[in-house]
Amino acid sequence: MTKCWYQLNLNVENAISKDWKFPESSGSWGGIGVWAFKQDKIFNSNWVQYMSDIALPIKSSVVFYREPNLVDDKAHVDLLGEVGEDAKTTYLGFNWVFGGKGSEMIWYDLPPGERNIQLTPAGNKFLSWQISDLVEVDRCSIQDVPTLVRIDYPHSIAVGDEARWCISARTGLDDLTWDEAVKHLKTKNIIIDR
């Protein structure tokens, strides 16, 4: 079985800077909002140092918003690279959620074939497929427990009755594959076995 998530033994209680505020969600992209932030714009500097001290340097964050009862009909893969740069697969994020009770993140097998790079309103690159063309391989209800998520496999979100905000901290470990990152985190006793 493909494992696409692991809960983590990480302290995120004071991760968010006291000066940071959630973006305005009204007028979001079809009930979906996506914003990218450099690590010094969203995270508390002490938490960034804590993460660096345990060999998990945080470079940035992507913040996702989903309105209540939104169920995706497409799955996506996150990519690295600014507009005008070559896109590169990124393997993982450290996610935790505010609200979103009953929501699930769902992963699918990566289909063969042509890749069509798209852009979010925030300028983030991604690949996208119709869920009806994919095979589900894993799912998880991410809440306030930090969770390592695999983002190089197509994934989607099914939102329950409550709006969902997700903080996805992105690490500087871009060159590690998913399996290498999991092994690295296990040596640090950060992964909670499932």
Confidence check: pLDDT of 82 > 60: no
140: containing domain: 30-187
**How many structural domains is the chain composed of?**
1
With left for phi above 0 and alpha for psi between -120 and 50, is residue 102 left, alpha or beta? Answer: left
User: In this structure, is residue 18 part of a structural domain?
Assistant: no
pLDDT band of 36, cuts 50, 70, 90: confident
Q: Around Cβ 149, how many Cβ atoms within 10 Å? A: 24
User: In this structure, is residue 23 part of a structural domain?
Assistant: no
pLDDT tens digit string along 106-123? 999 988 887 778 877 767
User: In this structure, is residue 20 part of a structural domain?
Assistant: no
Whole-model pTM: value is: 0.89
User: In this structure, is residue 145 part of a structural domain?
Assistant: yes
CA–CA distance, 8 with 83 (Å, rounded to integer): 32
User: In this structure, is residue 8 part of a structural domain?
Assistant: no
User: In this structure, is residue 15 part of a structural domain?
Assistant: no
Query: What DSSP character marks residue 16?
Result: B
Residues 6+ apart with CB under 8 A from 15: 43, 44, 47, 167, 169
User: In this structure, is residue 75 part of a structural domain?
Assistant: yes
User: In this structure, is residue 9 part of a structural domain?
Assistant: no
Residues of the chain with pLDDT > 90, as a percent, come to 58
CB 156 within 8 A of CB 76: yes
